[in-house]
Amino acid sequence: AQKITQTQPGMFVQEKEAVTLDCTYDTSDPSYGLFWYKQPSSGEMIFLIYQGSYDQQNATEGRYSLNFQKARKSANLVISASQLGDSAMYFCAMRVGSSASKIIFGSGTRLSIRP
Amino acid sequence: EAQVTQNPRYLITVTGKKLTVTCSQNMNHEYMSWYRQDPGLGLRQIYYSMNVEVTDKGDVPEGYKVSRKEKRNFPLILESPSPNQTSLYFCASSLGRTSYNEQFFGPGTRLTVL
């Protein structure tokens, strides 16, 4: 069965520190995409970063990078130099297959940045 | 501005009273989807549509209906709402349905069923 697991319900991090949010996935399909979304307290879903299963390099977008370890089926989000505005819920998601019709989300991690 | 819109944003209703949540996108996206978000469960897919007149069930379709008569619109229908459908609902769209297509989300609809 296809599944996304986020094992950290909540995290506290000091401002300016780096933080890693864990995500493991399970699929037998060789073609898939992994996504991270941010949901601030205002409720909207904001796309952060994408990693394809065939991508040779880890994805990066500004302060966000994705630590993709295919053999371990993990796709952890790394936020460098955290800011107060990074406080939010973070969701890992997966689209699987050539007709990637179904999309699966993890249960999320609530990140709180301490000043 | 490219966007996904949902209406209403907030709705309080009573058990059994049919309701429709509208969703519209102006990006000419093929793929559209509905999710519900509940604490501790993340987002769960209710229904999705890969194009006009093509819809299919997600993981939690019971109690919901959808239609896709036009490319831009994908309404969610609750024929007889029940309290366990109290949730935050998101509509999303993507250009295509391949594994690399990111989704664009609407602002969400908070539904309370009494």
- Inter-chain contact B40–A104, Cβ cutoff 8 Å? no
- Mean pLDDT over residues B27-37, rounded? 95
Closest residue to B99, CB basis, from A4, A31, A37: A31
Chain B positions in Cβ-Cβ contact with residue A105 (cut-off 8 Å): 35, 42-44
- Inter-chain contact B99–A50, Cβ cutoff 8 Å? no
Distance CA B63, CA B45 (A): 13
Q: pLDDT tens digits for B68-89?
A: 999 999 999 999 999 999 999 9
Question: In this structure, which long-range contacts are made by residues A54-58, counting pairs with CB atoms below 8 Å and at least 24 apart in sequence?
Answer: none
Partner A, chain B 84-113, Cβ-Cβ below 8 Å: 88, 90, 92, 97-105, 107-108
Region of poorest pLDDT, from A97-111, B5-19, B31-45, B83-97: A97-111
Average pLDDT along chain B: 94
Residue B31 touches chain A, beta carbons under 8 Å: yes
SS3 B69: coil
Which percentage of chain A shows pLDDT scores above 70? Answer: 97
Q: pLDDT tens digits for A77-114?
A: 999 999 999 999 999 999 987 666 788 999 999 999 99
Chain A nearest-CA residue for B38: A107
Residue A42, both tokens: 């205002």
SS (H, E, C) A59-78: CEECCEEEEEECCCCEEEEE
pLDDT higher than 80, residue B97: no
CA–CA distances in Å: residue A26 to residues A5, A70, B10, B24, B103: 8, 11, 35, 32, 21
Mutate: best of A102, A103, A105, partner B, most B CBs <10 A? A103
Q: Which residues of A36-56 are buried (b: 16+ CB within 10 A; e: fewer)?
A: bbbbeeeeebeebbbbbbeee
pLDDT for position A83: 96
Closest residue to B56, CB basis, from A9, A96, A101: A101
pLDDT higher than 70, residue B99: no
- Tell me the pLDDT band of A24, cut-offs 50, 70 and 90: very high
Q: Which residues of A5-29 are buried (b: 16+ CB within 10 A; e: fewer)?
A: ebeeeeeebeeeeebebbbbbebee
